[in-house]
Amino acid sequence: MTYKQPLYDELCRVLTDYEDNNSLNGVKAGDLYNMLVKIQNQWENVVISNEEDFVPRPKANPHGILTDWFSGTGPYAYEANGYHNALIRVRKNADFDYLYVQRQYQGTGIKRKDGFDYAGIYCKQDGLIYDGLHSIEKLFDDTDFRTAHSANALCKRLETSVRSSVESAIGNDRNNLRITEISSEKVLKELEYFQEYTAGSQARAAYLSSDYTAGDIGFDFMFRCDYSPEQWTEDSLLAYILDPGGYVHAEVKKYIDNEQESMLSEFLMNDMVAAAYQVIIDNPSNPVHLVKRIMYAVSASSAKTVKVTIRKDGVEFTFKTEASEFRSDCTSYYSTWNIAAADRREFERLFGRSSNYRPEDILRIEYARSVLYGNEAAGSQELDVSEM
C-alpha cells in the first residue's frame, strides 16, 4: 500500500501558501483552510502505512466487530495519539486470541527489539473484543463498547446477575433456606455487634426516609444478596466470556450452597431493625419525630437561608442559618457553624461557645414570611432524649 504522495504534497503546499500570504484569490480562505486542516489531521484514515506486509485498516461496526482484519492475517497498523501502532493477535486456544500492540513514535512497522503490550481478548465465538485497553480504543466506532466489555464491567455484570438470581430464588422468604439456626461463632458475634451498634441507627434512617404524608406502615424489609465476585483469574474470565449464563448459574448454586448462615443472618438482622423501628413508632416523645417533621417541612421549600427561633434554657433567640442544616438528620443536635456570623456571636454570648441547639429547642423555622415549621411547646415539653 502506498501514499498518494502527490495529493498530500499539494495539500501541504496550499496550506503553506495560505500561511505565507493569508489569502487565496476568489476563495473564502478561512473556510478552505479549515477544511484542508481537517483533511490533513485525518490523513491517517486515508493512508496508514507504506509497509506492504500490513493489511488494510479493518472496519469496525458499532459493536466493535473487526471482521476484515480477523478474517485475514498479519499485523494491523493504525495511528493514535501521535504514535504508530502495530496490533497482532496470538492464539490462546480454540476459542480466544490475545491481542498485543507495539507503539512507535517514529517510523512504522514492527521493530525487532521493541516489546508488545497486552491490549485485549478476541473471542472467536462472537467476534467481539473483551478487556480492551485504552491503546486500542480508536479501533471501536462505538467507544462505549470497549468500557462496557472491560474486565471491570464484566465483573459488575456478573455480580448483578448472581445477586438478582439468588434474591429470586430466596424470594424474600427465610423458609426457602435450608437452615433455621445459626451455629457459627463468627456469625453469632456479628449478630450481637449488629444488635448493639447498628440496628438502631438503621431503624432511625429507615424511619426518617419513609414517606411523611402516607402514614407509617412499619419497616419494609427486602432480602438483599451480598455476593461479590472474586477477582478474575486467567481461566475464570475466559470461562465467563465464553458462557456467561452457565458461569452465573454455577456461581448462584455455589453461593446458595455455601452461604446459608450468611443469608439467615440477613433475615435476623432485619428482624432487629424492624424491632428498633417499632420502638420509634411506639414512642411519640422520641425527638426523632421532630427531626422528621423538620426535614419534611424544610425539604418541601426552596429556601437557602431560613430564620430560626429557639427557646433554650428559658431564653428565646432568633437567628438566620442555612436551610441545608435541616434537610438531613442532625443525629442529636444542630451545628452552629452555619449560623450567620453576627447571630452566631450572639448565640455564643447567650448560651456559651461550646453550646448547640437540639430539635426540641426549635420553636419556629420561617422563610419568606411563612412558617415552615412550628412547635410552640419547644423548650418545655418532656422528650426522651436518651433515644437520640
Q: pLDDT tens for residues 336-345?
A: 999 999 999 9
Give yes or no for residue 24 having a pLDDT over 60.
no
- How far are the Cα atoms of 192, 277, 289, 306, 344 from residue 281, in angstroms, in the given order? 23, 7, 9, 29, 35
Give yes or no for residue 217 having a pLDDT over 70.
no
Mean pLDDT of 110-114: 75
Both 97 and 35 in a single domain?
Answer: no
Both 126 and 224 in a single domain?
Answer: no
Which of 149, 174, 200 terminates a domain? The answer is: 149
- Residue numbers of the domain that contains 71: 67-149
Residue 388 three-state SS: coil
Both 241 and 328 in a single domain?
Answer: no
Both 308 and 369 in a single domain?
Answer: yes
Locate all alpha helices (DSSP H) within the chain, ordered by sequence. 5-21, 29-41, 67-70, 143-148, 151-170, 185-197, 199-209, 234-242, 244-258, 260-282, 288-299, 341-351
Lowest-confidence pick of 108-112, 269-273, 287-291 = 108-112
- Give residue 55's pLDDT band: very low, low, confident or very high (50, 70, 90): very low
Both 161 and 266 in a single domain?
Answer: yes
Give yes or no for residue 23 having a pLDDT over 90.
no
> Which pLDDT score is estimated for 274?
94
Lowest-confidence pick of 7-11, 268-272, 366-370 = 7-11
How many separate domains does the chain show?
4
- Contact in structure between 291 and 359 (CB atoms under 8 Å): yes
Both 165 and 266 in a single domain?
Answer: yes
Query: Phi then psi for 19, rounded to 5 degrees?
Result: -65, -30
> Which residue from 242, 299, 208 is spatially nearest to 122, judged by alpha carbons?
242
Report the alpha-carbon distance of residue 57 to residue 201 in Å, rounded.
60
Give yes or no for residue 229 having a pLDDT over 90.
yes
> Which pLDDT score is estimated for 336?
96
Which of 233, 255, 282 terminates a domain? The answer is: 282
Mean pLDDT of 302-316: 96
- Contact in structure between 24 and 17 (CB atoms under 8 Å): yes
Report the alpha-carbon distance of residue 16 to residue 19 in Å, rounded.
5
Report the share of the chain in percent with pLDDT over 90: 60
Which of 282, 314, 337 terminates a domain? The answer is: 282
Give yes or no for residue 5 having a pLDDT over 50.
no
Both 269 and 307 in a single domain?
Answer: no
* Residues 285-321 as b or e (16 or more Cβ within 10 Å = b): ebbbbbbbbbbbbbeebebeebbbbbbbeeeebebeb
Q: Is residue 262 part of a domain?
A: yes
- Contact in structure between 147 and 129 (CB atoms under 8 Å): no
- How far are the Cα atoms of 180, 201, 255, 278, 298 from residue 295, in angstroms, in the given order? 40, 17, 40, 20, 6
Both 205 and 275 in a single domain?
Answer: yes
Average pLDDT, the chain: 83
Mean pLDDT of 346-372: 96
Report the share of the chain in percent with pLDDT over 70: 76
- Give residue 258's pLDDT band: very low, low, confident or very high (50, 70, 90): very high
Report the alpha-carbon distance of residue 161 to residue 248 in Å, rounded.
7
Q: Is residue 16 part of a domain?
A: yes
Q: Is residue 62 part of a domain?
A: no
Both 219 and 303 in a single domain?
Answer: no
Both 114 and 189 in a single domain?
Answer: no
Q: What is the pLDDT of residues 146-202, one digit of tens each?
A: 788 999 999 999 999 999 999 999 999 999 999 999 999 999 999 999 999 999 999
Both 297 and 381 in a single domain?
Answer: yes
- How far are the Cα atoms of 54, 242, 293, 310 from residue 119, in angstroms, in the given order? 19, 19, 56, 64
